[in-house]
Amino acid sequence: MTAQLIDGVALARQWRARVAERAAALAARGHRPGLAVILVGDDPASQVYVRNKVKACGEAGIHSVLETYPASLTQDELLARIAALNADPTIHGILVQLPLPPHIDAQRVIEAIAPAKDVDGFHVANAGALLVGQRGYWPCTPYGCMKMLEHIGIELRGKHAVVIGRSNIVGKPMALLLLQANATVTICHSATANLAHHTRQADVIVAAVGRPRMLTADMVKPGAVVLDVGINRLPDGKLCGDVDFDAVREVAGWITPVPGGVGPMTIAMLLLNTVEAAERAAG
Ligand code: NAP
């Protein structure tokens, strides 16, 4: 079997077009959506991510403000900027690009963002809303994965989903969203004994680890849906995911590529959360 490809670029384009329509409708009523993006330090990967987010905002008709600060910025200075953005009515979403320099407590910074403007969905209020099944802002990467599953038309009820990784920004919210969709969910992590035993039973696998090509073909049940969240840079400079794509695509039913899979959907969901935040603010 050769898996069908889930084209994240094409699907993200559709979502961005829908967001652009909603942003235009808001702007026509005098409520142009606004996103503030804060970058502290000069991490090259973060610079690329931030640039892509700002560019995507422009294309969707979302006003964006990029604030860049040197790594020497103090935590108090950053908290003061967030307080100002919380109070700014032209800004509906605030995104602080992670990672932050080690002298800044990232969780403290995230908690300073008003939950209504936390379009990354990392604030405990939004994490808690997801846990109890209330509508808050969902973290963009798992949200994008759910849209991909919806797009291919898989019925998740009764399916076994295995999420590899338990971070607060990907693995845990991914598992909760799958649970909410009535899948039976197994969460694997670095202390999981016999990972392959779990993944081989999965109808859906989400790999969110950060280890190049760690999910090999022998770990995948024929016909399974495989979503590859990982972004890893190889010594030759190329990007690859957590999935051994060439081999796994011969076994899986559906698979996402890296690049061009989950990544573009993450940005599309950031735009979607931002336009939703602006709609709520506009009443
Ligand atoms: P993270 O915070 O480092 O979490 C990685 C998770 O993988 C941890 O829960 C860890 O377990 C688990 N893990 C590590 N080694 C393992 C192993 N051998 N077997 C099973 N589990 C193992 O990373 P993250 O922020 O969730 O990101 C994961 C990957 O996704 C990274 O490559 C990141 O760049 C990428 N990413 C992509 C997007 C996108 O838009 N495509 C967005 C966000 C992240 P422990 O908890 O036990 O340590």
Asked if residue 209 has its Cβ within 6 Å of ligand 1, the reply is yes
The sign of the CA dihedral 142, 207, 113, 100 is: negative
- Coil, strand or helix: which one is 43? coil
CB atoms closer than 10 angstroms to residue 162: 28
- Going from the Cα of 37 to the center of ligand 1, the distance in angstroms, rounded, reads 23
How far, in Å, CA of 121 to CA of 266, rounded?
A: 12
User: 65 phi and psi, to 5 degrees?
Assistant: -125, 120
pLDDT on residue 223: 98
For 41: left if phi > 0, alpha if psi spans -120 to 50, otherwise beta; the answer is left
Asked if residue 260 has its Cβ within 6 Å of ligand 1, the reply is no
Give the pTM: 0.98
Asked if residue 139 has its Cβ within 6 Å of ligand 1, the reply is no
Amino acid type, 186: T
- Going from the Cα of 211 to the center of ligand 1, the distance in angstroms, rounded, reads 8
Probe target for ligand 1 pocket from 98, 190, 199, 242, with the most ligand atoms within 8 Å of CB: 190
Low-confidence ranges of the chain (pLDDT < 70): none
How far, in Å, CA of 118 to CA of 4, rounded?
A: 34
Q: With beta carbons less than 8 A apart as the criterion, state whether 163 and 171 touch.
A: yes
pLDDT on residue 207: 99
- Angle, CA 118 vertex, CA 83 and CA 267 arms, to 5°: 125
How far, in Å, CA of 116 to CA of 32, rounded?
A: 16
Residue with tokens 């992670």: 98
pLDDT on residue 224: 98
The DSSP 8-state label assigned to residue 159 in this structure reads: -
Set out the domains of the chain in order of their start, with CATH numbers.
30-116 (3.40.50.10860), 140-263 (3.40.50.720)
pLDDT on residue 230: 98
pLDDT on residue 88: 98
User: Which residues are CB-contacts of 84 (< 8 A; sequence separation ≥ 6)?
Assistant: none
Helices within 32-105 (DSSP H only): 44-60, 75-86
Q: What atom of ligand 1 comes closest to residue 266's alpha carbon?
A: 40
Nearest C-alpha neighbor of 210 from the set 257, 161, 165: 165
pLDDT on residue 5: 98
- Going from the Cα of 153 to the center of ligand 1, the distance in angstroms, rounded, reads 26
- Coil, strand or helix: which one is 254? strand
Q: With beta carbons less than 8 A apart as the criterion, state whether 49 and 97 touch.
A: yes
Closest CA to ligand 1's atom 2: 167
How far, in Å, CA of 205 to CA of 226, rounded?
A: 5
Asked if residue 189 has its Cβ within 6 Å of ligand 1, the reply is yes
Instruction: Render pLDDT for 68-111 as a digit per residue (tens, 0 to 9).
Output: 999 999 999 999 999 999 999 999 999 999 999 999 999 999 99
pLDDT on residue 254: 98
Asked if residue 166 has its Cβ within 6 Å of ligand 1, the reply is yes
Probe target for ligand 1 pocket from 110, 169, 170, with the most ligand atoms within 8 Å of CB: 170
